[in-house]
């Protein structure tokens, strides 16, 4: 169960994160709490899997190449395949879907060559069909959730 402080922290850090040399001091002042407590609570929330990730979202069109990919994975091979996919630093996240292509993930790389290499390796290592779904039109979705 989230405390009132946790809710306050999580609501604040989801957007407009300060871009400066000491963002946690800025946030601590805004939240009227100690900087060490702020960092401790964020760390604990991540350690207990309340939050899965704390970090920035990069505009991939400005720093490299990216696309959505999907693999057609037999149910009994899903766990091993997820482990393999997650081993690539270029994979941002993945999720399972109820579809013939049932493991979906986003791959971001510095160059088109590296992106293609990662996808080729994943298809080769898994032996499963892989869909490559490049973005045709960007859409911005605010993923902040008011707790």
| Residue-level pLDDT, tens digit, the chain, 147 residues | 899 999 999 999 998 999 999 999 999 999 999 999 999 999 999 999 898 778 777 666 777 788 999 999 999 999 999 999 999 999 988 899 999 999 999 999 999 999 999 999 999 999 999 999 988 887 766 667 788
Judge residue 115's burial from the number of C-beta atoms within 10 Å of its C-beta, 0-12 exposed, 13-18 middle, 19 or more buried.
buried
Residue 70 sits in the same domain as residue 129: yes
Residue 75 sits in the same domain as residue 31: no
Number of domains the chain contains: 2
pLDDT at position 145, please? 75
Residue 69 sits in the same domain as residue 42: no
Please tell me whether residue 27 adopts helix, strand or coil conformation.
helix
Tell whether pTM > 0.75.
no
- The first and second tokens of residue 58, run together, are 């990069």
Please tell me whether residue 22 adopts helix, strand or coil conformation.
coil
- The first and second tokens of residue 134, run together, are 């490049």
Residue 65 sits in the same domain as residue 33: no
**Does an H or E element contain 95, and which?**
strand 91-96
Residue 64 sits in the same domain as residue 128: yes
The answer as to whether 123 is a domain residue is: yes
The answer as to whether 142 is a domain residue is: no
């Amino acid at each position: 169960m989230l405390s009132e402080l946790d809710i306050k922290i999580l609501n604040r850090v989801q957007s407009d994160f300060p871009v400066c040399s000491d963002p946690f001091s800025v946030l601590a002042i805004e939240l009227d709490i100690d900087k060490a407590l702020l960092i401790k609570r964020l760390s604990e929330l991540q350690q207990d899997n309340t939050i899965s990730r704390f970090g920035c979202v990069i505009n991939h069109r400005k720093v490299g190449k990216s696309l959505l990919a999907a693999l057609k994975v037999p149910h009994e091979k899903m766990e091993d395949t997820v482990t393999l996919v997650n081993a690539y630093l270029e994979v941002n996240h993945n999720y399972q879907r109820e579809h013939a292509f049932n493991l979906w993930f986003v791959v971001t790389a510095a160059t088109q060559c590296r992106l293609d290499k990662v996808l080729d390796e994943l298809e080769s290592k898994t032996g499963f069909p892989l869909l490559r779904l490049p973005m045709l039109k960007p859409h911005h979705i605010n993923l902040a959730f008011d707790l």
